[in-house]
Amino acid sequence: MNLWCDRIITGGILFLVLCTPFAFGSVHPWAYSTMEAVIFSLVIVWMAKVAILAREQGAGGRGQGAGGGSHFAIRNSKFAILAPALPLALFIGLALFQLMPLPPSLLRTLSPQTYEAYTQILPGWPERVPYADVTQRSEIRGQRSESREQGAGSKEKKAEGTGQRSEVGDQRSEVGEQGAGSKEQGASVISNFEFRISPFASTPTTWLPLSLAPALTRTDLLKFVAYAALFLLILLYPYGESWERAGMQWSSISRLPPEQRFCRLLVFAILFTGLFVAAIGFLERFTWNGKILWSFVPYDWGQPMANGVPRASGPFINPDHFANYLSLIFPIALACA
């Protein structure tokens, strides 16, 4: 079981290294959502192996671990966990604090610029709930439309004998229903807007968060949690027996200690991915057809940019991301040279 956990962890990390650059830099929701799902799945496997090793140690199975139990105990000391986890947890707490609704007085003290932006964006804030008068107007209009529908219905009853009057009444009722439907939609949009302003039902509606775009803050916070989990996974994962002890002696890398074997595989995967990304950028530069990876048109382009060759971007949407990716891999390649 421990060996299978090691294989899943190694395979999952190699999958992230190899595939995330070619998912257009993982900037689209489908790409980074898949990445986050893979990372959190690997964390579950990590916790499963920790539970297995703890049960083996508790049952007196340290002799069966062939050194795996002591290795687990050393790598998972309190200092080894708290040293990297504490600053990450503090940063996550800071991001969560920016999502909490705060009273206007405290918001003005902590961030005068955010307070000023809210006063310009939301009319009437903080003295009253933003757009409350618009909501009241929509409710009054909805009541008027209902009364008009009732009046149209009474006219239809009076005009039952004449076909022309009934047709006119039907047309008026249809117009009234359409107007009521559009006004109901407008009222629902306004109510949804109010809910987005104050996402916590227990807080006053005039309390607002430090973040001007809470939805984007939540998205980036989830990304950071995934990155932090992957960092702790690589740093603290208790690797088990080497492949030689597991009966696989087909290469010299199988005789290495678990950590060295994983580090070599990871470095080789990073170098191979960097070489492949650079080759894709080189080929794309000289065979440009106006699309990323010869098949995808970015959303903000609208149409293929066939006229003129832009900066080399490889599989990335932003050429700067392509350059930054290669600049991160270059020191590793230089160190391995």
Task: Name the residue range of residue 50's domain.
Answer: 1-100+213-241
Side-chain-facing half-sphere of 94: CA atoms under 13 Å: 8
Provide the whole-model pTM.
Answer: 0.74
- What CA–CA distances, in Å, run from 257 to 26, 47, 71, 181? 33, 22, 11, 69
Output the pLDDT for position 167.
Answer: 52
Count of domains observed in the chain: 3
> Do 314 and 257 share a structural domain?
yes
Asked if 251 and 284 sit in the same domain, the reply is yes
Is 65 inside any structural domain? yes
| Residue at 205 is within a domain | no
Cα–Cα distance measured from residue 153 to residue 169, given in angstroms and rounded to the nearest whole number: 7
* Confidence (pLDDT) at 65: 46
At residue 302, what is the residue type?
Answer: G
Determine the Cα angle at 72 with ends 70 and 74, to 5°.
70
Q: What is Dmax (Cα atoms) for the chain?
A: 98
Residue 58 and residue 1 share a domain: yes
204 is a domain residue: no
State residue 175's pLDDT score. 47
Q: What is the DSSP letter of 148?
A: H
Distance CA 193, CA 173 (A): 30
For the record, the structure tokens of 173 come out as 């009722």
Instruction: Tell me: cis bond preceding 258? Omega within 30 of 0 counts.
Output: no
Q: What are the φ and ψ backbone dihedral angles of 203, each rounded to 5 degrees?
A: -100, 155
Q: Is residue 63 part of a domain?
A: yes
Last residue of a domain, one of 167, 197, 227: 197
Both 235 and 313 in one domain: the answer is no
Note whether 288 and 321 are same-domain residues. yes
Polymer length in residues for the chain: 337
Reply yes or no: is the peptide bond before residue 310 cis, omega within 30 of 0: no
131, 37: one domain: no
In this structure, are 148 and 1 located in the same domain? no
Do 84 and 226 sit in the same domain of this protein?
Answer: yes
Inside any domain, residue 202 = no
Residue 129: inside a domain: yes
- Rounded to an integer, what distance in angstroms lies between the CA atom of residue 210 and that of residue 215? 12
Of 165, 197, 229, the one marking the end of a domain is 197
Q: Give per-10-residue mean pLDDT for the chain (337 aa).
A: 87 96 94 97 95 81 47 58 91 96 94 94 85 60 62 56 51 53 49 49 80 95 97 88 52 68 91 96 90 90 80 92 95 89
